[in-house]
Structure 1
Amino acid sequence: MMDIVWLGEPESRLSELVGGKVARLARIAGQCSVPLGFCVTTDAYRRSHGVLTVTLQQTIAEAYCELARRTASAKDAPVVAVRSSALAEDGEAASFAGQYTTYLGIVGTNNVVEAVQQCWDGSKGKHIQQYQADRGLPPRSDLAVFVQLLVPADVAGIAFSADPSSAEPQLIVNASLGLGDGLASGTIIPDVFTVDRATRQVTRSSIAEKALKRVLVNDRILELAVAGSFRWRPSLTSHQVREVAELTLHLEQVVGYVVDIEFAYADNRLFVVQCRPATFCGGSRHRAVGKRTERIVESSPLPAQFTLSKADLEQHQWAHDAARFPAPLSPMFASLWLPAYTRTAIAARSDVCYEEPPVKLHHGYVYYRADWDASPVTYHTAEESPRDMLQRYLKTEIMPFYARMDQQFSALETLGQALPLVRELECGFHHLWKLHFDIVGPIHALWSEFNRVFDEIASAVYPHSWVNLMGGVPNKLTETDQQLSELAAWAYSDATLEEILRRDLLFDDMLSQMMGVPVGRCFIQRFQAFLSQYGYRSSNVMDLLDPTWIENPQVPLNMIKKLMQTHHSSDMQVASAGVNDFLAAIPNGPDKRHFVDLYNRVLDSWAVNSDHHFFIDAMLSARTRLWLLTLGNLMCQQALLNAPDDILFLTVDELKVVLQTREFHGSIRMRRLLRQQQLKFQPDPLIGLNTSNSRKRSRARVVLRGMAAVEGMASGWVRIIAGDEDLAKLSRGDIVVCKTFSPSWTPVLNIVRALVADTGGILSHFVLIAREYGVPCVVATERATQILHDGQRVRVDGNRGLVQVLPKQLVRLNDVLG
């Protein structure tokens, strides 16, 4: 176990020990000037549970004194920067740009120790937890901290070795006078230099006014006014721009991917203080060097028969299934589910014959042909009861299939073994959805018959929907709730468990504390048993993109905490309270006997319908996600993917081709971007036939010009955000307008359509994060918060850096998708 690791030591390349930021700096330290520093390791964090012990404080103090001895100036108290270095930070799956806190100008042993503790405390912020979940990362708070000599910068900047918003072969340099914290945080407008990659010549520049600069003077950071004659001078000379470009491209060759570096000049010496993979739209990273970035969002990778065409819209009306499919489908799920569903659904219906699939996608959203649900439902009948059928299928087909695939994917070692497994998965999807309709077909036929009888003899004495009579029927879903309630009741009744769970801890930290006490170990054992049985589900069961409870146990843990707060019990009653009175009100006779018989069968089928959803719909999606991520990890090791979940943006046919040829000619990055655009689209409930999709585009008035930071276009209502207190007024689809965007606001990027800021540059931290979320962004407008006001409808053009005011009409489809 190592508490301190110095930059340059062999261990400083171990990201699990020193975090992503330090490990990447250690890799380039021999190629350029990187300020000296030491790292307080993740070992130290885990062993101390994120709270500095007296011994660890002394260890950090000794390392700080050693840093003073190692510096050329031999100062007793060197000025340092104290920065986070999280495990996944500066990685290829997510940048974490600006999410953790950096402390500059720290002097003295006590202040360094305090800053390290503050970094650790900041790692548990709710915005970081949300960011980890959004990027598909496990909720981990263990953090290394880097204590590094602070460069007394005359000029600081950020450079990308490829333009994040252009396909042109050029790199981008942003720079400002003094320290670089304002540039990184986006609180200033930087100078921007565009450099040709081949010639290293500046092809375009934009010089901003520099009213103030933050500089290090006599161990103190001061904010000084810039003299008038220097305000409009470029922060970098042409020679310095070329030197930065040369170094950036050299580091790109060293590490093998497009880089994002933070640099500083002090006394004309160039230092690098950070080097990470560059972030592009949708959160993807460039793995290989020299490839052009696609500008056009590629079309759907699915066969044309599963995408709504102009002819489809002219011939039929289509209804969006918002209840089951609130979000656009991922390419992998769509390619597995659509063929399986349409083929088995049509086969299960004896009354219709479709030449074309009755279910298709429109901008990624699921639409059914309206006459599919409107036509009389006639399913092939079955003599076996739905309950007996489900139990037989579970025993002989469903659970054996899951167990077999679990075993085969867990033993997966080579890509050659993967191809037959993917084919078996595809066949399994078809077969399990056939079983789905074998079960629900008779159930829906039974419900249709019950609905008819109910209308004839019971509706007069029960003026509500018969669905209300199904309340309280035990099933696997209510059983899940019951298990959570029992865990909550146990925790509430035990003082030790209650104390631990009341704390605002991430799962790993809670687990560590639970394992330290006997009752906690018992609780974790029971909780893990719960996950093994009920954890194969996610927030969106009809897709593969959301983490399962097994991957992210924070979700059921939060449910337990909520149940503890409300003292809620999920005890279920077999029948709703008014059923007996209702049945007594129906006149006796053959019709009543027939009705009661039907009612009991429907009551039983209601539970079976929920159980089949648990075992087939939800469990198949969850297990498929876990199987594919296992394969995705293997493909990352073979450099076929950048991140394991990239596999979910392939179709199953494309995956089979990649496994055979080891090549993929599409763009995962563009598919991630496409999904971000689709998420901002508001699907109409009905489209096609008599519902026109063509709307006249209203004239728009350009009111602001800024810097095009994240490509894309979006329309929505303006919401001026001046501080945390304003976040509550945000609704889905709004446009955030702010002076600068705080890292703690990151979770709102899930719901807003675009971002407009007075300050910032295209390489500022909040822009990098917005780019990962695919949120169109215009920065450096200087006066957006002064000109725009709440309630205005605007169109944000992230391609050209424009903000236009629109008449108060509905959001246009073309505006949303750009």
Structure 2
Amino acid sequence: MAVTEEILGQFLGDETFPVSWESEVEKDFFWVYDDLHIPHPVSPMFFDIGGWWLSCDHMFRRFGTPFAVDWLAKNVNGYVYTTAIPADPLLRIEGTEYSARYEARVPRDATFAETMGAYLDTVLPVYGRDFADWWRDRLRPEMERNFAYLEERLDAADAMSLADVACLLEDAIDIHDRHWKIHWMLNFAQLSATLKLRAVMEKTRGKVDEELLGRLQNSASDRNWDSIEALWRMKNEVRDDTELRAAFSSEGAPEIARSLKVSERGRRFIAERVEPYQREFGWHAVWSHEFIFPTVREQMEPVLELIHGYLATDYDFPGAIEAMRLDIQAASREILEGLTGDALEEMRAANAVNLRMAPLTPDHHFYIDQGANAHLRLVLMEVGRKLVDAGRLDAPDDVMFLRYNELRSLIGSADVLDARGIAAARRREREEARKIQPRDWVGTVTPSQLAFPYLVNWGYPDRFHRKQSEDRTVITGIAGS
């Protein structure tokens, strides 16, 4: 793709941050560092099968977006950079998905970008209006069934063969892909509901009140609150039990865990409270968009640390959730104040849709960003354990340092590659990459690429106009998204 518009900036690499380009076409694109989701050096396995970008072609295809048709990722010095692909039938650009060469999906129709916008405008309001029902009645139950299947198989993994867990891995990959396709449907549905509320607010009030709009995006009924309530109940049990309270007087979660394990009461608290919490709410890691980091499902210390913090403040869950509920109700009244007739009804209807969508933000993190990635990690770890038992790897999480097809080749034959050596070398490479300060972007910046709507999530276009950060110690991003 020859650049035919103004070039606002270009960086193709230098001695401090070299960039390996697979083609001349790649250089023409604006590649943005994904510090929002993956601020750390990415593992080979996550890059191959875990990335959020893998299902974006489905999103753009389903909604008929005129502004982009695909989203590719590139590994630059160990870090993930992504770029949006325009609807240009003449464009040929490759990426990598599932260890395979992948050519970005572009339309054959040269008029796609000019004609498809009307389709998006036609269907998008339906998603905003109906998606909460689809989520409740069809999509959430589907995802819960998927998780129940994976968890049942994981519980039986000790009795499974390497071939069995290899098949389970393919199931987990398919489930991960499906959940992320649901994610993008939800993403656009939320966009529709929010845009509608903003439009009605501007129409009826003359301007958008951002503070009021933000309050109306909150939720008082979702899986995040369910998790908080469970922690609060454990906090109360500890507070009211002398023996448990003594164990939690220890400094630090590891010491609390040791104190609990030495008494019958402490062991019962772990078995009856902590472990069930982990099974229900532990499907996330400190950085969810990666397979390397252990999940809360695998370690109790993060749960104990949260309970310890709640004890220190005597956290009041009923008071907190009631305050949130009352504020949402107050904001809903405020947005209607002074309106009458059609304006009142239009605003009431737009906010009703918005309020139904609000809980889906934390819920989709639970079922997709966190849950789908965490379930896939645990299946990978079971594959890793089988390979350790077979003498093919040194540690279960060595699988994260293999590529997808390398792992499958290793499952098929122990002699096909030096998996131990590859994993060890890539661990070292990742540690070396941590010493590098990633640039905000690489490639070529043009007005149309800078205007890609989703880039606002990374702070663009404003971020482009700021000087590249010189702070080499700061890691940014969303830890639990």
Aligned to 2:104: none
> Is the 2:198–2:208 contact (alpha carbons within 8 Å) kept by the matching residues of 1?
no
Match of 1:574 among 317, 325, 328: 325
Partner-residue secondary structure (3-state), 1:400: helix
Q: Residue type matched to 1:592 in 2?
A: L
> Deviation string for 1:647-680 (max 9, x for gaps)?
1112222222222233225611221122222323
Residues 458 and 431 (structure 1 numbering): CA distance in 2 closer, same or farther, change over 3 Å? same
Partner-residue secondary structure (3-state), 1:585: coil
Distance (whole Å) between structure 1 residues aligned to residue 202 and residue 425 of structure 2: 52
1:321 corresponds to 2:34: yes
Aligned to 1:614: 366
Alignment of 1:323-472 (within 5 A): 323-338=36-51, 340-352=54-66, 357-369=71-83, 378=120, 381=124, 382=126, 385-393=130-138, 396-409=141-154, 410-411=156-157, 413-458=160-205, 460=207, 462=209, 464=211, 466-472=213-219
> Deviation string for 1:219-268 (max 9, x for gaps)?
xxxxxxxxxxxxxxxxxxxxxxxxxxxxxxxxxxxxxxxxxxxxxxxxxx
Residues 370 and 437 (structure 1 numbering): CA distance in 2 closer, same or farther, change over 3 Å? closer
- TM-fit CA distance, 1:507: 5.2
Match of 2:227 among 455, 480, 496: 480
Residues 676 and 598 (structure 1 numbering): CA distance in 2 closer, same or farther, change over 3 Å? same
- TM-fit CA distance, 1:472: 4.6
Alignment RMSD:
3.5
Residues 687 and 454 (structure 1 numbering): CA distance in 2 closer, same or farther, change over 3 Å? farther
Partner-residue secondary structure (3-state), 1:543: coil
Partner-residue secondary structure (3-state), 1:506: helix
Partner-residue secondary structure (3-state), 1:403: helix
> Is the 1:492–1:564 contact (alpha carbons within 8 Å) kept by the matching residues of 2?
yes
> Is the 2:285–2:295 contact (alpha carbons within 8 Å) kept by the matching residues of 1?
yes
More helix by share: 2
- TM-fit CA distance, 1:548: 0.9
> Deviation string for 1:259-295 (max 9, x for gaps)?
xxxxxxxxxxxxxxxxxxxxxxxxxxxxxxxxxxxxx
> Is the 1:461–1:586 contact (alpha carbons within 8 Å) kept by the matching residues of 2?
no
Q: Residue type matched to 1:637 in 2?
A: D
Q: Residue type matched to 1:574 in 2?
A: R
Q: Residue type matched to 2:133 in 1?
A: D
Number of residue-to-residue matches in the alignment: 390
Identity among equivalent positions (%) equals 18
Partner-residue secondary structure (3-state), 2:81: strand
> Is the 1:629–1:644 contact (alpha carbons within 8 Å) kept by the matching residues of 2?
yes
> Deviation string for 1:764-815 (max 9, x for gaps)?
xxxxxxxxxxxxxxxxxxxxxxxxxxxxxxxxxxxxxxxxxxxxxxxxxxxx
> Deviation string for 1:10-36 (max 9, x for gaps)?
xxxxxxxxxxxxxxxxxxxxxxxxxxx
Aligned to 1:801: none
Q: Indicate the structure (1 or 2) with the bigger Cα radius of gyration.
A: 1
Q: Residue type matched to 1:363 in 2?
A: N
> Is the 1:389–1:439 contact (alpha carbons within 8 Å) kept by the matching residues of 2?
no
Alignment of 1:762-781 (within 5 A): none
Partner-residue secondary structure (3-state), 2:264: coil
> Is the 2:32–2:442 contact (alpha carbons within 8 Å) kept by the matching residues of 1?
yes
Aligned to 2:268: 521
| TM-score, L = length of structure 2 | 0.71
Q: Which runs of 5+ in 2 are unaligned?
A: 1-18, 87-112, 447-468, 477-481
- TM-fit CA distance, 1:606: 1.5
Distance (whole Å) between structure 2 residues aligned to residue 547 and residue 390 of structure 1: 29
1:596 corresponds to 2:348: yes
Residues 616 and 579 (structure 1 numbering): CA distance in 2 closer, same or farther, change over 3 Å? same
Residues 401 and 646 (structure 1 numbering): CA distance in 2 closer, same or farther, change over 3 Å? same
> Is the 2:250–2:256 contact (alpha carbons within 8 Å) kept by the matching residues of 1?
no
Alignment of 1:716-727 (within 5 A): none
Distance (whole Å) between structure 1 residues aligned to residue 445 and residue 298 of structure 2: 45
Aligned to 1:660: 412
Residues 329 and 389 (structure 1 numbering): CA distance in 2 closer, same or farther, change over 3 Å? farther
Partner-residue secondary structure (3-state), 1:464: helix
> Is the 1:327–1:679 contact (alpha carbons within 8 Å) kept by the matching residues of 2?
yes
Residues 682 and 643 (structure 1 numbering): CA distance in 2 closer, same or farther, change over 3 Å? same
> Is the 1:436–1:612 contact (alpha carbons within 8 Å) kept by the matching residues of 2?
yes
Match of 2:260 among 511, 527, 549: 511
Aligned to 1:174: none
Q: Residue type matched to 2:351 in 1?
A: Y
Q: Which runs of 5+ in 1 are unaligned?
A: 1-303, 692-715, 718-730, 735-749, 752-818
Residues 509 and 669 (structure 1 numbering): CA distance in 2 closer, same or farther, change over 3 Å? same
1:556 corresponds to 2:303: yes
Residues 366 and 585 (structure 1 numbering): CA distance in 2 closer, same or farther, change over 3 Å? farther
Q: Residue type matched to 2:358 in 1?
A: W
| TM-score, L = length of structure 1 | 0.43
Aligned to 2:238: 491
Aligned to 1:162: none
Q: Residue type matched to 2:29 in 1?
A: H
> Is the 1:488–1:560 contact (alpha carbons within 8 Å) kept by the matching residues of 2?
yes
- TM-fit CA distance, 1:312: 5.5
> Is the 1:313–1:689 contact (alpha carbons within 8 Å) kept by the matching residues of 2?
no
Partner-residue secondary structure (3-state), 1:587: coil
Question: Relative contact order (C-alpha < 8 Å, sep 6+): which is higher?
Answer: 2
Q: Residue type matched to 2:135 in 1?
A: L
Q: Residue type matched to 2:344 in 1?
A: K
Match of 2:289 among 542, 552, 556: 542
Aligned to 1:224: none
